[in-house]
Amino acid sequence: MQKFLVPNRFAEKTAVVTGAAGGIGEATAKRLAAEGASVLCCDLADEPLAATVSDITAAGGVAVSHPMDISDSAACDAAVQLAVGTWGGLDVLCNIAGILRFAHSHEETDQNWQMMINVNLSGTFYLSRAALPHLMETKGAILNVSSTAGLIGQAYLSAYCASKHGVIGITKAMAVEYARSRVRINAICPGGVDTSMTQKIDFPEGVEFDLVMRASLANENCTPDDVANLIAWTVSDEATYVNGSVISVDGGVAAG
Ligand SMILES: NC(=O)c1ccc[n+]([C@@H]2O[C@H](COP(=O)([O-])OP(=O)(O)OC[C@H]3O[C@@H](n4cnc5c(N)ncnc54)[C@H](O)[C@@H]3O)[C@@H](O)[C@H]2O)c1
């Protein structure tokens, strides 16, 4: 039985959603499409991305699969152009794709550091930069997925923390800059979410797990749908005065 009445907040709207091959991005793409959005589903992983799109279309929604690497700025420009060229405009950008790698900070490699910054931080910036001129036309919205690690320090995650704190910086700077153009830019900070990211974590030798577990209160994760519910609200017209906000969805972890 359906738990709630599905509203239709995104009828006639178009969205670009990254990370749509799995986890939070997949749940968000499906949620926006279920509420009427035409969704350009973007991700590196082409096969699971195609599965997301076929689930959406089988349910009567509108979606296009667009395999891409968000750390490539030209690819970000092309993705936005594709959405605008296909549907005539852009209303919503959800920057959700991301990567997580644990390392002792004194052993972190240049390659890992750069990769985390390039994907989590630069990817978010590149897509936002490409989308903003179109969002100014539609008075649209951007939602960036940061993390509890964007608010507090987490052991063995210097690069991830830097990238996710940076995502909050981008969010606030752009929110101020584009407020008069009526483009809203917000960030959410999930705690533990049951996705492939948390299911297969590779810890380096010598990790002290009590330090890792400081970022967990209830010892249980939420679901991708719990996070997608919040994302959908922030980019909907129900949130018209919500701009530059950083909203936690973490069971209270960052509060303590
Ligand atoms: N799972 C958690 O507990 C948690 C907590 C806080 C924040 N987050 C953030 O939520 C976001 C979504 O993560 P998730 O939990 O759904 O994990 P996930 O691994 O299921 O999804 C991440 C997606 O990003 C894609 N991706 C990775 N690099 C990419 C690139 N260069 N270009 C395009 N796509 C790329 C992956 O293929 C994957 O489908 C991430 O930004 C993550 O940092 C997750």
DSSP codes of every residue in the chain: --SS----TTTT-EEEEESTTSHHHHHHHHHHHHTT-EEEEEES-HHHHHHHHHHHHHTT-EEEEEE--TT-HHHHHHHHHHHHHHHS---EEEE---------GGG--HHHHHHHIIIIIIHHHHHHHHHHHHHHHHT-EEEEE--GGGTS--TT-HHHHHHHHHHHHHHHHHHHHHGGGT-EEEEEEE--B-SHHHHS--PPTT--HHHHGGG-SSS--B-HHHHHHHHHHHTSGGGTT--S-EEEESTTGGG-
Q: Please list the pLDDT of the chain residue by residue as tens digits (256 residues).
A: 455 567 899 999 999 999 999 999 999 999 999 999 999 999 999 999 999 999 999 999 999 999 999 999 999 999 999 999 999 999 999 999 999 999 999 999 999 999 999 999 999 999 999 999 999 999 999 999 999 999 999 999 999 999 999 999 999 999 999 999 999 999 999 999 999 999 989 999 999 998 888 777 767 899 999 999 999 999 999 999 999 999 999 999 998 7
For residue 5, the model assigns a pLDDT of: 64
| Centroid of ligand 1 to alpha carbon of 192 (angstroms) | 12
Index of the ligand 1 atom closest to the CA of residue 25: 16
| Centroid of ligand 1 to alpha carbon of 180 (angstroms) | 31
Residues annotated as catalytic (active site), given as ranges: 160
For residue 4, the model assigns a pLDDT of: 58
For residue 214, the model assigns a pLDDT of: 77
Index of the ligand 1 atom closest to the CA of residue 45: 37
Predicted model pTM: 0.97
For residue 256, the model assigns a pLDDT of: 78
Domains and CATH numbers, the chain: 14-248 (3.40.50.720)
Beta bridge partners of 64: 40
Residue ID of nearest Cα to ligand 1 atom 23 = 19
For residue 3, the model assigns a pLDDT of: 58
User: Is the CB of 86 within 6 Å of ligand 1?
Assistant: no
| Centroid of ligand 1 to alpha carbon of 2 (angstroms) | 27
Index of the ligand 1 atom closest to the CA of residue 97: 24
Residue ID of nearest Cα to ligand 1 atom 32 = 69
Residue ID of nearest Cα to ligand 1 atom 41 = 98
For residue 1, the model assigns a pLDDT of: 46
